[in-house]
C-alpha cells in the first residue's frame, strides 16, 4: 500500500467506523460498484485494489471517456470493508478523474495544431505523482515532476544568478536540457546566443506570442504560459509554439460526480 493511500485511510477511519460497526453485521457480504454520474475521463482506478486490499473488477481504464451511467469498477467484499473505505475511494476517483477530464478538454482544444499541452508543478501537496498520472491519462504531457529532473530558469533565478547568460552557463553542468523564461527582446537574444534549448514565454497575448514565435524562428523550442484557459488555449496553440502549459489542469480541476452503490449479498 502506498503511503498516500495509507494516510488517507488512517485519516478517515481512525480508530474505526463506529456507524458501520454498530449497524452492519460483521459477517455481512456485499457487492458494490462505482458509477459515473456525468460524462468524465476516468483516472485513479488502479488505486482501488490498494484501498480495498483485494481484487477489483475494473470496467474502465484510466483515460477512458465515460458517459453518465457507466460503471467504472465492481468489487465484492465484506460490507463493513466496503462501507468504511467508500469515501476514501471516491475522494481519489473524483479528484483524479477531474484532473483527467480537464486535461482531456485542453488536449481536445488544441487538436490538429501540433502544439502539446503541458501540466505544471501546481499540484495538491503529496498527490503530485497521482495528479500528473491523471493529467497524462487525459492527454496532457507531463512537464517536470519536481525540481530535480529538469532545468527551468525563471526570473528570480536570473536575478539571483546575475543575468540570463550567467544563469545558463552555470546550469550547463547539470547535463540537462535548459529551459529559461525570457521577458524582453534583449533577454530572448541573450538566451539564444547562450544556447538555451527551450524558451518559456509568460503572460503574452496570442498576437504577441505569435510575433515572438516568428522572431525565434525555430532556434529553440517554445512554451507559452500564463493566463491560458480553455477559452483561449487554441489561439495560443495556433501561434506555432511547441507547448502551452496550464496550472489549472491540476490546481483548478473540479471533482467529478461519481457514486458508490452497495448491494448486500445473500
Order of strands across the sheet with 29-36? 57-58, 71-78, 29-36, 258-264
Catalytic residue (choose from 108, 189, 197, 202): 202
Catalytic residue (choose from 31, 65, 74, 87): 87
Distance CA 3, CA 22 (A): 29
Mark whether 132 is an active-site residue: no
Mark whether 17 is an active-site residue: no
Q: How many residues does the chain have?
A: 266
Mark whether 181 is an active-site residue: yes
Mark whether 87 is an active-site residue: yes
Catalytic residue (choose from 116, 144, 154, 165): 154
Q: Which residues are catalytic?
A: 87, 122, 154, 181, 202
Amino acid at each position: 500500500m502506498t503511503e498516500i493511500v495509507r494516510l488517507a485511510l488512517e485519516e478517515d477511519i481512525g480508530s474505526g467506523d463506529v456507524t458501520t460497526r454498530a449497524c452492519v453485521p460483521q459477517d455481512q457480504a456485499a457487492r458494490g460498484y462505482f458509477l459515473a454520474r456525468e460524462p468524465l475521463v476516468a483516472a485513479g482506478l488502479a488505486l482501488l485494489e490498494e484501498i480495498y486490499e483485494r481484487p477489483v473488477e475494473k470496467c474502465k481504464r484510466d483515460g477512458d471517456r465515460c458517459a453518465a451511467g457507466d460503471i467504472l469498477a465492481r468489487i465484492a467484499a465484506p460490507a463493513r470493508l466496503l462501507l468504511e473505505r467508500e469515501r476514501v475511494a471516491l475522494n481519489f476517483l473524483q479528484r483524479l478523474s477531474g484532473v483527467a477530464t480537464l486535461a482531456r478538454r485542453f488536449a481536445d482544444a488544441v487538436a490538429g495544431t501540433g502544439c502539446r499541452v503541458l501540466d505544471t508543478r501546481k499540484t495538491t501537496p503529496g498527490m503530485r505523482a497521482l495528479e500528473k498520472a491523471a493529467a497524462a491519462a487525459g492527454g496532457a504531457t507531463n512537464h517536470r515532476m519536481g525540481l530535480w529532473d529538469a532545468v527551468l530558469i525563471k526570473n528570480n533565478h536570473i536575478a539571483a544568478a546575475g543575468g540570463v547568460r550567467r544563469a545558463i552557463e552555470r546550469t550547463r553542468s547539470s547535463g540537462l536540457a535548459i529551459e529559461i523564461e525570457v521577458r524582453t527582446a534583449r533577454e530572448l537574444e541573450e538566451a539564444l546566443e547562450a544556447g538555451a534549448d527551450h524558451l518559456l514565454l509568460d503572460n503574452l497575448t496570442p498576437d504577441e506570442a505569435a510575433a515572438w514565435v516568428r522572431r525565434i524562428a525555430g532556434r529553440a523550442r517554445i512554451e507559452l504560459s500564463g493566463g491560458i484557459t480553455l477559452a483561449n488555449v487554441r489561439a495560443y496553440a495556433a501561434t506555432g509554439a511547441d507547448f502551452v502549459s496550464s496550472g489549472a489542469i491540476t490546481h483548478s480541476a473540479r471533482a467529478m460526480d461519481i457514486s458508490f452503490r452497495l448491494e448486500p449479498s445473500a
